[in-house]
A and B are shown apart, each in its own frame.
Chain A
Amino acid sequence: MSVPLTLLGLLEREPSHGYDLKRDYDAFFGRGKPLPFGQVYSTLSRLARDGKVVISDVAPGSGPDRKRYIITDLGATEVEQWLTQPVDPEPHLQTVLFAKVVLALMLDRPADEYLDTQRSAHLRRMRELTEIKRGGSLVDALLADHGLYHLEADLRWIEMTGARLDALRKAVRP
């Protein structure tokens, strides 16, 4: 899970305070692992240092923090690039894919197109592994199979998510 990019994505939705960002992150992406406040503020400081967010006037928020963070064009471009690039087809990427899908829906981006791009990248990697399996030793075949079955599991998740996008959109954009 890329915390900086996920926070940037949340900020593209609307300017926000650190406390509110943490609350939204934990609600949508934390899954029982809340983001420590320290990590939220250190991440936001780095994003500000790198010109991806700016701190607007101090205003009252829901928590103790008074700084309001606004995404810059540079930050928005980075979110855009991150969302449109397929993740390297490696096993156990569901959490990254999940974050991308939810953010894409929040930002009214074409989540179905991102899923199609990811499916294509997965199948390309599966073709490579199948070639290795067909041309290699039994050990190669077993290793390739390990990757293939994990990628297949991801693909099933992609299919199920694709079929539920409308419902998911309603859930994340009340």
Chain B
Amino acid sequence: MSVVIEARDAEFAFGRTPALRGASIAVDAGEILAIMGPSGSGKSTLLHCLAGILVPDSGEILFDGVRVDTMSEPERSSLRRDRFGFVFQFGQLVPELTAAENVALPLLLSGVRRTQALRRAYAWFERLGLDGMEQRRSGELSGGQAQRVALARGLVAEPQVLFADEPTGALDSLTGEQVMDLLVSAAREQGTTVILVTHEARIAAYADREVMVRDGRVNAPDRIAS
């Protein structure tokens, strides 16, 4: 397995409050990795640095061997749009758009023609058990349905890496596990690397491996053991 994304000694502070204190992590292509840790440990900050949303104060972020932390904002923006997908906990769907338009959004932003983008988006509705929901708006969807639409949007452009920050945090146990089951199945089919932030062990158990973030540092027991 080759490493697709990596942080080396990443440090990041919010003002004078350190969030990452020399965090290092390497994720293999196609791997599903869970980042765990208590509230305030720095796990979401690490995900945001890996995804090029935040730039570490020091240290390096590499994607496919290329430094992300030294890229300009427009370069990082296009990297996020073209190579990465995202699923978050709350408020992801644009309420003015239909579910299908929400799913097609990353394709439209990448310049794919509307007809083709919507055709690709529609294919995801059957795949995720959302038949008949295509024209609904976010207010007409249950929490689980909305999160599946968000998952489809995160994967529709076939990203190399999907970043999922507490993707089941707002869902009940059963719905959350259904979303995780779909996420893992779709990622495996596409060969997408998944970096999943969660504080729930049952959700982390869907991953191939877990790392613990504590006080801004990464502890990777499985990698050390092997």
A binds B: yes
Residues of A in contact with B (beta carbons under 8 Å apart):
116-117, 119-120, 122-124, 126-127, 129-130, 134, 148-149, 151-152, 155, 159, 163
Q: Knowing that A124-B222, A130-B202 are A-B contacts, what are 12 other residue pairs whose CB atoms are under 8 Å apart, sorted by A's residue number?
A: A116-B212, A116-B219, A116-B221, A119-B221, A123-B204, A123-B205, A126-B204, A134-B181, A148-B202, A148-B205, A149-B202, A163-B38
Whether the Cβ atoms of A129 and B221 lie closer than 8 Å is: no
Q: Which residues of B contact A129 (CB under 8 A)?
A: 205
| Shortest 9 CB-CB contacts between residues of A and residues of B | A126-B205, A120-B221, A130-B205, A155-B201, A127-B205, A152-B201, A123-B210, A152-B202, A148-B202
Cβ-based interface call for B225 (8 A): yes
Q: Which residues of A contact B207 (CB under 8 A)?
A: 127
Cβ-based interface call for B90 (8 A): no
Q: Scan B76-119; emit 1 where CB is below 8 A from any A CB, else 0.
A: 00000000000000000000000000000000000000000000
Cα distance A155–B36 when bound, in Å? 12
How many CB-defined contacts (below 8 Å) exist between A and B? 40
Q: Which residues of A contact B225 (CB under 8 A)?
A: 120
Q: Within the complex, which residue of A116, A124, A126, A163 is in contact with B202, where a contact is CB–CB below 8 Å?
A: A126
Residues of B in contact with A (beta carbons under 8 Å apart):
38, 181, 184, 200-202, 204-208, 210, 212, 219, 221-222, 225
Q: List 13 A-B contacts (CB under 8 A).
A: A116-B221, A119-B212, A120-B225, A123-B204, A123-B210, A126-B202, A127-B207, A127-B208, A130-B206, A134-B181, A152-B200, A152-B202, A155-B201
Whether the Cβ atoms of B205 and A120 lie closer than 8 Å is: no
Task: Report A151 CB to chain B, min CB distance, Å.
Answer: 7
Cα distance A117–B220 when bound, in Å? 11
Cα distance A129–B201 when bound, in Å? 12
Q: Which residues of A contact B204 (CB under 8 A)?
A: 123, 126
Cα distance A123–B210 when bound, in Å? 8
Whether the Cβ atoms of B205 and A117 lie closer than 8 Å is: no
Task: Report A29 CB to chain B, min CB distance, Å.
Answer: 27
Q: Which residues of A contact B210 (CB under 8 A)?
A: 120, 123
Cα distance A119–B184 when bound, in Å? 22
Whether the Cβ atoms of B201 and A151 lie closer than 8 Å is: yes
Task: Report B116 CB to chain A, min CB distance, Å.
Answer: 33
Cα distance A134–B222 when bound, in Å? 22
Q: Which residues of B contact A116 (CB under 8 A)?
A: 212, 219, 221
Whether the Cβ atoms of B222 and A120 lie closer than 8 Å is: yes
Q: Taking CB as reference atom, which chain B residue is nearest A152? A: B201
Residue from the set A116, A117, A122 with the largest chain B CB neighbour count within 10 Å: A116
Whether the Cβ atoms of A159 and B38 lie closer than 8 Å is: yes
Task: Report B175 CB to chain A, min CB distance, Å.
Answer: 14
Cα distance A75–B181 when bound, in Å? 47
Q: Which residues of B contact A122 (CB under 8 A)?
A: 201
Cα distance A57–B219 when bound, in Å? 48
Q: Which residues of B contact A130 (CB under 8 A)?
A: 202, 205-206
Q: Taking CB as reference atom, which chain A residue is nearest B222? A: A120
Q: Which residues of A contact B202 (CB under 8 A)?
A: 126, 130, 148-149, 152
Q: Which residues of B contact A159 (CB under 8 A)?
A: 38
Q: Taking CB as reference atom, which chain B residue is nearest A144? A: B205
Q: Which residues of A contact B184 (CB under 8 A)?
A: 134
Q: Which residues of B contact A124 (CB under 8 A)?
A: 222
Whether the Cβ atoms of B201 and A126 lie closer than 8 Å is: yes
Task: Report A95 CB to chain B, min CB distance, Å.
Answer: 20
Cα distance A152–B123 when bound, in Å? 36
